[in-house]
């Protein structure tokens, strides 16, 4: 665990730096608020009445992208250990990884045909 100590120290310092910067604004900046200033910015027109936080609607295509991301991210993560020990595994590893990629390739082709990758 010793080799992770510098990383941890850097994390603490970086977080402290971020916190300090975020608190600096309200400390030294002016505070002259009025109602118009505190409204959500929509190019000067009246803000939309629907509450965005909590009850707002979000286009469903983004959820699909997020799920596909998980699928391919896991594929990516599985490819790393293979890549590290590819020379030691030889032909066996190659056959295994080709099977793995082609299995996911079927899922990928399915998603493509069903229009999961289209943005219109």
Partner 1 sequence: MTRAELLADDPLWLILIKVVVVLLIGPLLTVFMIVWERKAIGRLQQRPGPNRVGPGGYFQSIADAIKLPFKEQIIPATADRKVYFLAPMIAVTPALLAFSVMPIGPQVSIFGEQTVLQLVDLPVGVLVVLACASVGVYGIVLAGWSSGSPYPLLGGLRSAAQVISYEIAMGLSIVGVVLYAQSLSTGDIVEAQQNGWFFYLLPFSFVIYLISMVGETNRAPFDLPEAESELVGGFHTEYSSMKFALFFLAEYTNMIVVSAFATTLFLGGWMAPWPISLIGDNYFNSGWWPILWFFGKMFVLLFCFIWLRATLPRFRYDQFMKIGWKVLVPLNLVWIVLIAGLRAIRGESDVTTGQILTYGGIVILVIIGLSFAFDRGRVIEDDDQVPITGGGYPVPPLDLEIPKAPKRKAVRGRNRRRPAAVGAGTDAEKESNDGDL
- Contact set for partner 1, span 43-62 (CB under 8 A): 43, 47-48, 51-53, 56-59, 61-62
- Sign (positive or negative) of CA dihedral 56, 58, 63, 64: positive
CB of 111 to partner 1, least distance (A): 9
Of 107, 110, 112, 115, the residue at the interface with partner 1 (CB under 8 A) is 112
The reply on whether position 76 binds partner 1 by CB under 8 A is: yes
36 makes contact with partner 1 (CB under 8 A) = no
By CB under 8 A, the residues from 9 to 28 that bind partner 1 are: 9-11, 13-15, 17-19, 21-22, 24-28
107 touching partner 1, by CB under 8 A: no
Residues 76-108 as b/e (b if ≥16 CB within 10 A, e otherwise) read eeeeeeeeeeeeeeeeeeeeebeeeeeeeeeeb
Read off the DSSP letter of residue 61.
Answer: H
Q: How far is the CB of 78 from partner 1 (least distance, A)?
A: 10
Residue 55 DSSP one-character state: T
């Amino acid at each position: 665990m010793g080799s992770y100590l510098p990383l941890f120290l850097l994390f603490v310092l970086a977080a402290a730096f971020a916190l300090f910067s975020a608190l600096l604004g309200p400390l030294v900046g002016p505070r002259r608020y009025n109602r118009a200033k505190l409204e959500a910015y929509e190019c000067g027109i009246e803000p939309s009445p629907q509450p965005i936080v909590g009850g707002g609607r979000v286009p469903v295509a983004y959820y699909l992208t997020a799920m596909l991301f998980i699928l391919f991210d896991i594929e990516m993560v599985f490819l790393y250990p293979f890549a590290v020990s590819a020379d030691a595994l030889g032909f066996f590893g190659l056959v295994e990884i080709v099977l793995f990629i082609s299995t996911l390739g079927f899922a990928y082709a399915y998603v493509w045909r069903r229009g999961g990758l289209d943005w219109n």
